[in-house]
C-alpha cells in the first residue's frame, strides 16, 4: 500500500475493501519507519508487539464483518512525554532512561479503544522544554523536508514522523507552541484544543496550567478525528472540562462548511511587526486573501498586551517546571546516580539531578526556582499572572467582534541545526506567536500555507474562543480545500 499521503479515510477504505489488512499495514509502516528513523531520529522506541496485537484485533473485526471503530487500523505515533503501559517513556531524558509506566494516558487509551495502532514513541526536547527538538538526551530530530534543519519543538519527532509518512497521525504536547510550531516547520497540520478539552492524565507535567495533548495529521479532518475521540471530561484529571464534545467531523461534513460566507476573521497588527521573515509574512497575507475569497470578512484587530507575552510565559512555565520536576530526585522517581552509595542524601540529589538533566532543563529549573523564591515571588511570578490575565482579556474582547483570528505560527521557517542553541533568548523568540493562545487557554491550529523560496514549509495559525473548535476547524478545512481545488 502507498504510504505517502496516507489518511484515516484511506486506511479505512483499504480495510473495508480488502486491499490490505491492519496487520499488513502495521508491518509495512513499522518497517518503513525503522528504516527512515536512521535519517531523522523521529522515534525513540518502536512497539511492534503492541501494534501487531491491536492490528490483529482489527482484522478479526473485519473478518467477522463487525462495525469498525473510527480509527480502525490507523498507525499512530505517541510523543515520549505521554505515558504508555508497558512501553518505555523517557521524556527524552537520561533521568527516566528505563522508566516503563504501569498505565496508559487517557488520550492513549481512548485512541486505542477507537482502533488506533500505536507504532512507537517519538523523540522530543527533554521534558518538552525547547523549540527545536535539539535538547533530547538521545540526539536531535532532523526535519524530513531538509535534514540539516530542525523540525521544531518540542514535539518535533511527532511532526517529523507524520511529515515523513512514518505514521498516519501522531500525538504531541503543546505548552507554548510545541504542536503548532513543529507542524508549521514540517508542513503538516497540528492542533491544540482549549485548555481542559483533552485530559492531561498521563502527560508528564512540564507546566501544568499550560500543558495540552493534541494531534498531528496530514489533513485538518484527520486532526479533528483524533480530537473528537480524545476530547471530553475525564474523572482522572480535575482540570478536564465538563463541556459537551461537538461532533467535529459531522460539522465539517456540512455543505456550508466548505466556504466562509459570514465568517469574521481578525488579523492582529501586533503579529506582523518587526522580526517576521518577509516570506512568512507574504505567505500568510496571501492566505488571508484566500480566506477573503472564500467569503470571509477580514477585520484588523488589536491584541495590545502581546509584547509582554514572552516574558510572562517564560516566568510562569519555568516556575511550574521547577515545582513539577522536584520529584525527580533519584529516590522517588527516576534514575539514581551510581555515586549515591558513597554520598549524603543532599549530595545524592545533586549528583542525580546533575547527571540526569540536560542543560536546558537545568536552566529552567534554576530560573523557575529563582522567580518563586522569597523576595522575588511578587516581583516576577505574581506579576506574570496578572499580565496573563490581560493577555486573556485581549482575546476575549477580540472575539466579541470576530469568529477566528489568523496569524503566522512562527517568525521564520525551520532554522538550521545548531543555529540557536547557544542563544536561548533567540530560541525562546521562536514561540512569540504561539504562546499567547497558551496563556489565554484558547484553541489553535497550524495549517500549511505554502513554502518559502528554499522550499521550506510555512504554517498559518487559526485561533478561536474557548471551546469553539468547530469554528477553528471550519476555517482551517475551508482554507485547506481551497488550495486543493
Task: Measure the CA–CA gap between 189 and 209, rounded to whole angstroms.
Answer: 24
* CATH number assigned to the domain with residue range 258-304+384-484, chosen from the 4 options 3.30.360.10, 3.90.1300.10, 3.40.50.720, 3.30.1370.160: 3.90.1300.10
Closest CA to 33 of 92, 119, 142, 116: 119
Task: Measure the CA–CA gap between 181 and 156, rounded to whole angstroms.
Answer: 9
- CA 283, 467, 390 angle in degrees (round to 5)? 75
Q: What is the pLDDT of residue 484?
A: 62
Taking residues 220-236, what's their average pLDDT? 98
**For residue 333, pLDDT beyond 90:** no
Closest CA to 160 of 21, 258, 43, 46: 43
Alpha helices in 72-172 (DSSP H): 106-113, 156-163
Sign (positive or negative) of CA dihedral 238, 180, 230, 27: negative
Two domains, one topology: 8-244 and 258-304+384-484: yes
Q: What is the pLDDT of residue 256?
A: 87
Task: Annotate 305-331 with b (16+ C-beta within 10 A) or e (fewer).
Answer: bbebbbebbbbbbbbbbbbbbeebbbe
Q: What is the pLDDT of residue 293?
A: 97
Taking residues 41-57, what's their average pLDDT? 98
Read off the pLDDT of residues 290-307 as tens digits, 9 standing for 90 and up: 999 999 999 999 999 999
Q: What is the pLDDT of residue 332?
A: 75
Read off the pLDDT of residues 53-77 as tens digits, 9 standing for 90 and up: 999 999 999 999 999 999 999 999 9
Q: What is the pLDDT of residue 483?
A: 85
Taking residues 166-194, what's their average pLDDT? 98
Q: What is the pLDDT of residue 72?
A: 98
Read off the pLDDT of residues 354-387 as tens digits, 9 standing for 90 and up: 999 999 999 999 999 999 998 899 999 999 999 9
Q: What is the pLDDT of residue 254?
A: 94
Strands 212-217 and 297-301: unpaired
Read off the pLDDT of residues 123-168 as tens digits, 9 standing for 90 and up: 999 999 999 999 999 999 999 999 999 999 999 999 999 999 999 9
pTM greater than the 0.95 cutoff: yes
φ, ψ for residue 470, nearest 5 deg: -60, -40
**For residue 193, pLDDT beyond 60:** yes
Overall fold of domain 8-244: Amidase signature (AS) enzymes (3.90.1300)
Query: What DSSP element (H or E) covers 425?
Result: helix 424-428
Residues forming a β-bridge with 117: 75
Question: Quick one: what percent of the chain has pLDDT higher than 70?
Answer: 99
Every domain of the chain and the residues it spans: 8-244, 258-304+384-484, 311-378
pLDDT band at 329 (very low <50, low <70, confident <90, very high): confident
- CA 444, 448, 451 angle in degrees (round to 5)? 140
C-alpha cell at 321: 517546571
Taking residues 213-242, what's their average pLDDT? 98
> Looking at 186-315, which runs of residues are DSSP E strands?
189-192, 212-217, 264-268, 297-301
Write down the residue that cell numbers 473478518 correspond to. 63
Strands 189-192 and 264-268: unpaired
In angstroms, how far is the first alpha carbon of the chain from the final one?
25
pLDDT band at 331 (very low <50, low <70, confident <90, very high): confident
Read off the pLDDT of residues 446-474 as tens digits, 9 standing for 90 and up: 999 999 999 999 999 999 999 999 999 99
Please state the separation of Cα 246 from the chain's center in Å: 21
Catalytic residues: 79, 154, 178
Question: Quick one: what percent of the chain has pLDDT higher than 90?
Answer: 95
C-alpha cell at 79: 510523543
Please state the separation of Cα 420 from the chain's center in Å: 21
Q: What is the pLDDT of residue 135?
A: 97
Sign (positive or negative) of CA dihedral 123, 311, 362, 100: negative
Q: Is 356 helix (H, G, I), strand (E, B) or coil?
A: helix
**For residue 485, pLDDT beyond 70:** no
Amino acid at each position: 500500500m502507498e504510504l505517502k499521503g496516507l489518511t484515516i479515510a484511506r486506511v479505512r477504505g483499504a480495510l473495508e475493501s480488502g486491499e490490505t489488512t491492519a496487520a499488513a499495514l502495521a508491518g509495512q509502516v513499522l518497517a518503513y519507519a525503522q528504516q527512515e528513523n536512521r535519517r531523522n531520529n523521529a522515534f525513540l522506541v518502536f512497539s511492534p508487539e503492541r501494534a501487531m496485537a491491536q492490528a490483529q484485533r482489527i482484522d478479526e473485526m473485519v473478518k467477522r464483518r463487525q462495525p469498525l471503530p473510527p480509527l480502525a487500523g490507523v498507525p499512530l505515533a505517541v510523543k515520549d512525554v505521554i505515558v504508555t503501559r508497558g512501553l518505555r517513556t523517557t521524556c527524552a531524558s537520561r533521568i527516566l532512561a528505563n522508566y516503563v509506566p504501569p498505565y496508559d494516558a487517557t488520550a492513549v487509551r481512548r485512541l486505542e479503544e477507537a482502533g488506533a495502532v500505536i507504532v512507537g514513541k517519538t523523540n522530543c526536547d527533554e521534558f518538552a522544554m525547547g523549540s527545536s527538538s535539539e535538547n533530547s538526551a538521545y540526539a536531535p530530530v532532523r526535519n524530513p523536508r531538509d535534514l540539516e534543519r530542525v523540525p521544531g519543538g518540542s514535539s518535533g519527532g511527532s511532526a517529523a514522523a507524520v511529515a515523513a509518512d512514518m505514521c498516519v497521525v501522531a500525538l504531541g504536547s503543546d505548552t507554548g507552541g510545541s504542536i503548532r510550531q513543529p507542524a508549521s516547520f514540517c508542513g503538516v497540520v497540528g492542533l491544540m484544543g482549549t485548555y481542559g478539552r483533552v485530559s492531561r492524565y498521563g502527560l508528564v507535567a512540564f507546566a501544568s496550567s499550560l500543558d495540552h495533548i493534541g494531534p498531528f495529521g496530514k489533513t485538518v479532518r484527520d486532526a479533528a478525528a483524533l480530537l473528537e475521540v480524545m476530547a471530553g471530561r475525564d474523572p482522572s484529571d480535575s482540570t478536564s472540562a465538563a463541556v459537551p464534545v461537538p461532533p467535529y467531523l459531522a460539522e465539517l461534513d456540512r455543505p456550508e462548511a466548505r466556504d466562509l460566507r459570514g465568517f469574521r476573521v481578525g488579523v492582529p497588527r501586533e503579529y506582523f511587526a518587526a522580526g517576521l521573515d518577509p516570506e512568512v509574512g507574504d505567505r500568510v497575507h496571501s492566505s488571508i486573501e484566500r480566506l477573503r475569497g472564500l467569503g470571509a470578512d477580514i477585520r484588523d484587530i488589536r491584541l495590545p498586551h502581546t509584547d509582554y507575552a514572552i516574558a510572562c510565559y517564560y516566568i510562569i512555565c519555568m516556575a511550574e517546571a521547577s515545582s513539577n520536576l522536584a520529584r525527580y530526585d533519584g529516590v522517588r522517581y527516576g534514575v539514581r546516580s551510581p555515586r549515591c552509595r558513597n554520598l549524603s542524601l543532599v549530595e545524592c540529589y545533586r549528583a542525580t539531578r546533575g547527571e540526569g538533566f540536560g542543560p536546558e532543563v537545568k536552566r529552567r529549573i534554576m530560573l523557575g526556582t529563582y522567580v518563586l523564591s522569597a523576595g522575588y515571588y511578587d516581583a516576577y511570578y505574581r506579576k506574570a499572572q496578572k499580565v496573563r490575565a490581560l493577555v486573556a482579556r485581549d482575546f476575549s474582547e477580540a472575539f466579541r467582534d470576530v469568529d477566528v483570528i489568523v496569524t503566522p505560527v512562527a517568525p521564520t521557517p525551520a532554522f538550521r541545526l545548531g543555529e540557536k542553541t547557544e542563544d536561548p533568548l533567540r530560541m525562546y523568540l521562536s514561540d512569540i506567536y504561539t504562546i499567547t493562545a497558551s496563556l489565554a487557554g484558547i484553541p489553535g491550529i497550524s495549517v500549511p500555507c505554502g513554502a518559502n523560496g528554499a522550499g521550506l514549509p510555512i504554517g498559518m495559525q487559526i485561533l478561536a474562543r474557548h471551546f469553539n473548535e468547530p469554528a477553528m476547524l471550519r476555517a482551517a478545512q475551508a482554507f485547506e480545500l481551497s488550495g486543493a481545488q
